[in-house]
Amino acid sequence: MSSMDTPEATLYSFRRCPYAMRARLALRYARVPVRIVEVSLKAKPPEMLALSAKGTVPVLDLHGRVIDESLEIMHWALEQHDPDNWRLIGAPEAQTQMAALIAENDQVFKVHLNRYKYAERYPEAPMEHYRAQGEVFLAQLERLLQERRYLLAAHPSLADMALLPFVRQFAHVDREWFAQTPYRALQEWLQGFLESELFVGGMAKTLA
């Protein structure tokens, strides 16, 4: 099914949210026409809350079907169009590794990221403690990127795009610190994506 056969969808998004960011990247890559509704987290639109009681972005309205989990939105987008094989079809071992990486990012690294970024809310330990916990995942990514340009293949995959917004957020908490770390391959990987047409366009106000 091509994106041209898909009626224009509506994505409720917040530009700085890493979950919304990765959904936008996948939708843009898959060339799915999308109307972006930028949400104010202090005044969430009633129409979004009517679609998803969770009240969190992203929410994708497909005119009768609602997807309100970012990873599910990414998978749906790639089912429409995946020209560069982000899903790594034909590489089952890489697919297994991809699922494990994304799960670790979402379930473990994100917790450390939140505590590092908002350390004042977690005074039981210093900021450096939470940063060190997050660094365990950064070091794992660095090892993968020393073997190839992207995490799991010679081209970007779902793993790269699902993790990118979270690594970006971690790096930007203290940019000077991140710049002096030994994670050179990870730094190049991140900067390459941030300068890419896909990322720059994906952060625009519309994806259509």
Do 74 and 87 touch, CB atoms closer than 8 A?
Answer: no
H or E element, residue 159: helix 158-173
What is the mean predicted confidence (pLDDT) over 16-30? Answer: 96
The CATH number given to whatever domain includes residue 41 is 3.40.30.10
The range of the structural domain enclosing residue 96 comes to 92-194
User: Higher pLDDT residue, 165 or 202?
Assistant: 165
What is the mean predicted confidence (pLDDT) over 13-21? Answer: 95
Does residue 101 sit in the same domain as residue 162?
yes
Do 139 and 184 touch, CB atoms closer than 8 A?
Answer: no
**Strand, coil or helix: 2:** coil
Q: How far apart are the first and last CA of the chain?
A: 18
Does residue 43 sit in the same domain as residue 137?
no
Q: How many domains does the chain have?
A: 2
Q: What pLDDT score does 148 carry? A: 97
The CATH number given to whatever domain includes residue 176 is 1.20.1050.10
Do 52 and 68 touch, CB atoms closer than 8 A?
Answer: yes
What is the mean predicted confidence (pLDDT) over 72-81? Answer: 98
Q: What pLDDT score does 3 carry? A: 42
Strand order across the 34-38 sheet: 34-38, 9-13, 59-61, 66-67
pTM of the predicted model over 0.85: yes
Q: Is residue 179 part of a domain?
A: yes
The residue out of 83, 107, 130 marking a domain boundary is 83
What is the mean predicted confidence (pLDDT) over 16-38? Answer: 96
pLDDT per position as a tens digit, 101-139: 999 999 999 999 999 999 999 999 999 999 999 999 999
Q: What pLDDT score does 200 carry? A: 93
Does residue 105 sit in the same domain as residue 187?
yes
pLDDT band for position 46 (cuts 50, 70, 90): very high
Does residue 61 sit in the same domain as residue 129?
no
Q: What pLDDT score does 4 carry? A: 45
Does residue 49 sit in the same domain as residue 126?
no
Q: Is residue 108 part of a domain?
A: yes
Residues of 154-189 as b/e, b for ≥16 C-beta within 10 angstroms? Answer: eebbbbbbbbbbbbbbbbebeeeebeeeebebbbeb
